[in-house]
Amino acid sequence: MFGLMMHRPLLVSSLIEHADRHHGETEVVSREADGSIHRSSWAETHRRARQLANALQELGVKPGDRVGTLGWNHHRHLEAYYAISGMGAVCHTINPRLFPEQIAGIVAHAEDRILLADPQFVPLLESLADRIACLRQVIVMGPLPGNAESAFRLMDYEALLKGASERFDWPQLDERSAAALCYTSGTTGKPKGVLYSHRSTLLHAWAVALPDSLSFSACDAALPVVPLFHANAWGFPYAAALAGSKLVLPNAQLDGASLYGLLESERVTLTAGVPTVWNQLMQYLQAEGRKLHYLKRLGVGGAACPKPIVSYFEDVQQVTVLPGWGMTETSPVAALTQPKARQARLRGDARRKWLGRSGRAPFGVDLEVVDEADNPVPRDGTTFGHLRVRGHWVCSGYYREEADPLVGGWFPTGDVAVMDRDGFMQITDRAKDMIKSGGEWISSIELEQVAASHPAILEAAVIGMPHPHWGERPLLLAVMRPGGETSAEALRRYLEQRVAKWWLPDRIEFVESLPHTATGKLNKAALRLERGL
């Protein structure tokens, strides 16, 4: 017997409808490319999304079609999010930091026939035109480039909207329909397309908004530093609409001074991004002696956050740091380091140690750490194994790929982790980055964390070097903080006091900078390649 409750599909359009009806005047603030501030609201965002949906329909976009976007975080990109998914098409966000060949490969694989781009990315698209024959129409989300010849039909976003009706009835789609497409950044292989459904997107937004997650409320002003092209900005555009939070979009200006200015002037209470951005902001705040007056919660994920950054924001700025874990394949939020009653009592070093965890599972996803035979390892905080995940917003396959990535109904993450008795998981490494020395494993992340806790070190990377006797031994590459002073010998002594002797790197090298991937992670593949490893 079925229950007698209404059945309404879980649709992305219902988020913007709700935000318009019940939080219509709540602001959506966005920094324009020229630095000026653009003020809009949820009602205005909804109105313009309806206009854009009409314009896209006029241009021939049909349900299921992929519509590409190549842009920073700003109001037009947000409108595109809601217009494209709302009308039943698939919002395909593309990371402009990928190699041009990868961008061409992704556009061709997704068969984007139409794409919305920031003006500065039009030349990039022109240079790829031969390789992306599918793409013919480009809507420019800003001033059109001069009268140069173009391989595409270039259209002005604002002109399109001006001529479009404000009436659009969002279709009542099947909630399993595709809403968005995001390719993995290819850290561990060629980019693969993760195809989110309306249902998965909505349930993920709900989970992200919960008090024990990033916690969104109608009293919050939320600023996603994480780009709209990086796994749907970790759900910010959806969770903010769901909760009726004010949304603040920083565009491409992510340097310390610009970010600080926006966090203060818009009284931002909640933000999230990768560790490298917080490192930059920390350096700016330290150098200028500035205080964050309104920020309450700072989410950090995508990579393990160096401890000095966590301590700085918690202890000096009195901001609660929320480390989290996820992947493009998990929408992405699948774990957050929010305390249970026991952890809420922790202070000082004990709290900081606990903040080194990557998080616990919210309702809706399940996490498990297993051994080589897929048996769960003890939850003792020290036995490591392979992390696997399943749930309502975990991918079950890749777009237009035959191979089934699941094993026994679980998604194997490729990460190695430990889990403690309270269910807090900590990533110790990507499986392929672990260093196997004399039959024992060394965690490169752990070594990097210890090295980066030295006051003179800004960033550190550890990779395995082949060794005739031990199999592999660690090589530590370190970037010195501006004005910092230390030597390989002194750093070695520092490490000696903090890690097991056999973990000590065989070599320590100082480098000017370290390569990062398009999503801000240490690019260990590039480091290995540079050294012919």
Active-site residue list: 184, 329, 436, 441
Question: Which stretches of 136-252 are DSSP H helices?
Answer: 157-162, 198-209, 236-243
**Cβ proximity to ligand ADP, 13 vs 185, nearer residue:** 185
416 is a contact residue toward ligand ADP (CB under 6 A): no
Q: Is 263 helix (H, G, I), strand (E, B) or coil?
A: helix
Residues of span 231-290 touching ligand ADP by CB under 6 A: 231
444 is a contact residue toward ligand ADP (CB under 6 A): no
Out of 26, 413, 443, 449, name the contact with ligand ADP by CB under 6 A.
413
Rounded to the nearest whole angstrom, what is the least distance from the CB of residue 462 to ligand ADP in the complex?
14
Phi-psi map region of 244: left, alpha, beta (phi>0 left; psi -120 to 50 alpha): left
**Cβ proximity to ligand ADP, 184 vs 251, nearer residue:** 184
**Cβ proximity to ligand ADP, 51 vs 185, nearer residue:** 185
**Cβ proximity to ligand ADP, 271 vs 328, nearer residue:** 328
336 is a contact residue toward ligand ADP (CB under 6 A): no
Residues of span 18-77 touching ligand ADP by CB under 6 A: none
Q: Which helix (H) or strand (E) holds 73?
A: none
Q: Which amino acid is at 8?
A: R
Distance CA 431, CA 441 (A): 10
Rounded to the nearest whole angstrom, what is the least distance from the CB of residue 181 to ligand ADP in the complex?
14
93 is a contact residue toward ligand ADP (CB under 6 A): no
Burial of 144 (0-12, 13-18, 19+ CB in 10 A): middle
**Cβ proximity to ligand ADP, 65 vs 446, nearer residue:** 446
From residue 353 to residue 372, the character string flagging contacts with ligand ADP as x (rule: CB under 6 A) and all else as - is -----x--------------
Q: Residue 389: beta bridge partners?
A: 367, 411
From residue 291 to residue 320, the character string flagging contacts with ligand ADP as x (rule: CB under 6 A) and all else as - is ----------xxxx----------------
327 is a contact residue toward ligand ADP (CB under 6 A): yes
Query: CB 417: neighbour CB atoms within 10 A?
Result: 23
**Cβ proximity to ligand ADP, 164 vs 447, nearer residue:** 447
463 is a contact residue toward ligand ADP (CB under 6 A): no
Residues of span 421-440 touching ligand ADP by CB under 6 A: 427, 430
As a dihedral over the C-alpha atoms of residue 376, residue 382, residue 387, residue 390, rounded to 10 degrees, the angle is: 60
Rounded to the nearest whole angstrom, what is the least distance from the CB of residue 289 to ligand ADP in the complex?
30
Which CA distances in Å does 249 have to 39, 76, 114, 309?
10, 10, 24, 23
**Cβ proximity to ligand ADP, 82 vs 399, nearer residue:** 399
CA angle 397, 302, 207 (to 5 degrees): 65
Close Cβ partners of 34 (under 8 Å, ≥ 6 residues apart): none
The token pair at 341 is 């009653």
Pairing of strands 411-419, 385-391: antiparallel
**Helix count (H) and strand count (E) of the chain?**
16, 24
105 is a contact residue toward ligand ADP (CB under 6 A): no
Out of 41, 85, 102, 187, name the contact with ligand ADP by CB under 6 A.
187
Single out the segment in contact with ligand ADP by CB under 6 A; choices: 156-164, 221-229, 389-397, 513-521: 513-521
CB of 304 closer than 8 Å to CB of 358? yes
3-class SS string, 437-499: ECCEEECHHHHHHHHHCCCCEEEEEEEEEEECCCEEEEEEEEEECCCCCCCHHHHHHHHHCCC
Out of 323, 362, 464, 474, name the contact with ligand ADP by CB under 6 A.
323
CB of 247 closer than 8 Å to CB of 218? no
13 is a contact residue toward ligand ADP (CB under 6 A): no
**Cβ proximity to ligand ADP, 175 vs 415, nearer residue:** 415
Rounded to the nearest whole angstrom, what is the least distance from the CB of residue 237 to ligand ADP in the complex?
17
12 is a contact residue toward ligand ADP (CB under 6 A): no
184 is a contact residue toward ligand ADP (CB under 6 A): yes
CB of 209 closer than 8 Å to CB of 216? yes
Close Cβ partners of 280 (under 8 Å, ≥ 6 residues apart): 254, 255, 256, 259
Distance CA 81, CA 93 (A): 9
Pairing of strands 440-442, 435-437: antiparallel
**Cβ proximity to ligand ADP, 351 vs 521, nearer residue:** 521
Single out the segment in contact with ligand ADP by CB under 6 A; choices: 19-27, 322-330, 367-375, 435-443: 322-330
Distance CA 248, CA 267 (A): 10
Single out the segment in contact with ligand ADP by CB under 6 A; choices: 2-10, 139-147, 507-515, 516-524: 516-524
Unique residue bearing structure tokens 């079950």: 396
Size of the site for ligand ADP (CB under 6 A): 21
Contacting residues toward ligand ADP, per CB under 6 A: 184-185, 187, 231, 301-304, 323, 325-328, 358, 413, 415, 427, 430, 517, 519, 521
